Structure 1
């Protein structure tokens, strides 16, 4: 086991890991909230950007690129428009970060007891990351769905508040309404987190030996590289998840009025490929990578520093 892997996996008490994970999620979300809104808007846009004729019957804005989308949101909705859905998103990121790191730590400790049949370090990291990501995703999924729906709102408000949205979805869509697209989310996050942690654990020891890094931290650089590689591989499932999350009786009320009716992961992917081509599955990938890289870098850096700070406090008290 590498020193870097041991650091992330074994140090800190369960309480310290949960607190550090929650802090990491909170800080990360605050930093990338505007890019998250842009990504969601681009992912929900179904018409072709290269064919102006496809725009003529569209009700709602036509977004073209990250900067153009940011300018459009600022012009039409003001600065608050870039933070739509931030309250459920902050709650989600805090809970997700705490669950993710706690499960990751516990799973790696369980896997470490498999001697003499212990798995290779990279496989352990993949299994632990996939398990942590899957459980954290399912546990916080209703907040993820609410984040998407709020971010998809234009100047016309579909939901007036977080509590009102919960009541409305429960009344009109039932319990299952909070888990629309959850299958796509789990199918995406399991390989994503597995690849992310396996790559991160492999790169971190090497990066820690390098000096004068652009981000000033081997943890941050390793987080960026791991995020880009993992995110690209599973992006189509992320797009499918967003399309499924805005299904239901409010589908025609969001900023993009023409979102088709989708049913199921495979049906959605097939319909997107048939109507928009393979490129349609990667709509919003650029801003997703721009968002994911700093988000994961901030998450891992904040987690490591928060955990170190909590350990220093405990040592000072002893």
Structure 2
């Protein structure tokens, strides 16, 4: 028995070492989603509204604050967390997949001389690979979440199971992956910029200050800045993804104004630009940037804290 205990402990440590990154990523995604879901609901409503988001044009939503108040009045507090359950599953799945891929890439790419000598490039490429992998496995939950947020009050899907069953019955498996191309096209550079900016700030600051580890407030600030920069850069693709995800679902959202009918990513970008001008490609940017900054900051903060706790237990 005395021999087996060290072996068992060693096996446990090895298991935790392999899975601590994806576990921390999934759990940090869960915590972050709980705080930022209302902003996500507002962002999606703005992205799907074809009318300009301003007063005196007959639009349903005219600003971030007005949207928040209207949603609360019409749908209650639960309306602000509409799609929260599939959103949580999305966040956990995406966080798990993203950090699992990033951790593996970071480990193995260090064996390549170029990546080992250029950490900034390693973080950028690793972030892009991780984001693409995470979104690829999480897209079905993103589609369901978007439709829950988009549907009329007391219409559409009754539950996650009903949503999956209905989409598969009416649209086939392809329906669960609507918007996958713009999703991956957006999330890969988004994650690349996010991870690259985050690690660039932390590495330069700790080196300048002669510190081995970054303080908690710096992690939060770096994460927030990386999220804002990344989201601003890729926002038109994020808007396109949301509009593609509600195709064949327009009958369940008749109280939000006009619906866009489109056949693909480039067609959606073209129609949005032609009908709503350049500003239409950035519709909902304000709540998106606020949400992305908060989400990214909390995401990295929770991730680093969970990793620290796990390392202390090993």
Structure 2 counterpart of 1:122: 120
Say if 2:39 is the partner of 1:39.
no
Deviation readout 1:72-126 (Å, 9 max, x if unpaired): 0000000000001000110110111111111101001111111267461111111
Deviation readout 1:125-156 (Å, 9 max, x if unpaired): 11100000000000010001111000112313
Say if 2:27 is the partner of 1:27.
no
Match of 2:104 among 103, 106, 109: 106
Gap runs ≥5 in structure 2: 1-15
Q: Indicate if the aligned counterparts of 2:61 and 2:67 stay in contact, CA closer than 8 A.
A: yes
Q: What is the CA distance between 1:207 and its match in structure 2?
A: 4.6
Q: 1:207 to 1:287 in 2, by over 3 A?
A: farther
Say if 2:284 is the partner of 1:280.
no
Q: Indicate if the aligned counterparts of 1:111 and 1:119 stay in contact, CA closer than 8 A.
A: no
Residues of 1 paired with 2:223 and 2:128: CA distance? 16
Say if 2:239 is the partner of 1:235.
no
Q: Which moved more, 1:183-192 or 1:198-207?
A: 198-207
Structure 2 counterpart of 1:81: 79
Q: What is the CA distance between 1:256 and its match in structure 2?
A: 2.3
Residues of 2 paired with 1:51 and 1:67: CA distance? 13
TM-score (norm 2): 0.89
Q: What is the CA distance between 1:157 and its match in structure 2?
A: 1.9
Deviation readout 1:181-206 (Å, 9 max, x if unpaired): 11000110111111111111100134
Residues of 1 paired with 2:90 and 2:246: CA distance? 18
Q: Indicate if the aligned counterparts of 2:219 and 2:301 stay in contact, CA closer than 8 A.
A: yes
Residues of 2 paired with 1:24 and 1:210: CA distance? 28
Deviation readout 1:270-317 (Å, 9 max, x if unpaired): 101100000000000010000000101101000000011111122xxx
Deviation readout 1:25-60 (Å, 9 max, x if unpaired): 00000010000000000100001245745x3xxxxx
Structure 2 counterpart of 1:292: 292
Where do residues 178-197 of structure 1 align in structure 2 (5 Å cutoff)?
Answer: 178-197=176-195
The 3-state SS of whatever aligns with 1:77 is helix
Residues of 2 paired with 1:116 and 1:280: CA distance? 41
Residues of 2 paired with 1:70 and 1:129: CA distance? 32
TM-score (norm 1): 0.88
Gap runs ≥5 in structure 1: 1-11, 56-60
Q: Indicate if the aligned counterparts of 2:102 and 2:130 stay in contact, CA closer than 8 A.
A: yes
Q: What is the CA distance between 1:210 and its match in structure 2?
A: 11
Structure 2 counterpart of 1:138: 136
The 3-state SS of whatever aligns with 1:222 is helix
Structure 1 counterpart of 2:196: 198
Q: Indicate if the aligned counterparts of 1:252 and 1:259 stay in contact, CA closer than 8 A.
A: no
The 3-state SS of whatever aligns with 1:157 is coil
The 3-state SS of whatever aligns with 2:122 is helix
Structure 1 counterpart of 2:3: none
Q: 1:230 to 1:116 in 2, by over 3 A?
A: closer
The 3-state SS of whatever aligns with 2:51 is coil
Structure 2 counterpart of 1:9: none
Q: Indicate if the aligned counterparts of 2:220 and 2:298 stay in contact, CA closer than 8 A.
A: yes
Match of 2:18 among 14, 21, 30: 14
Structure 2 counterpart of 1:263: 263
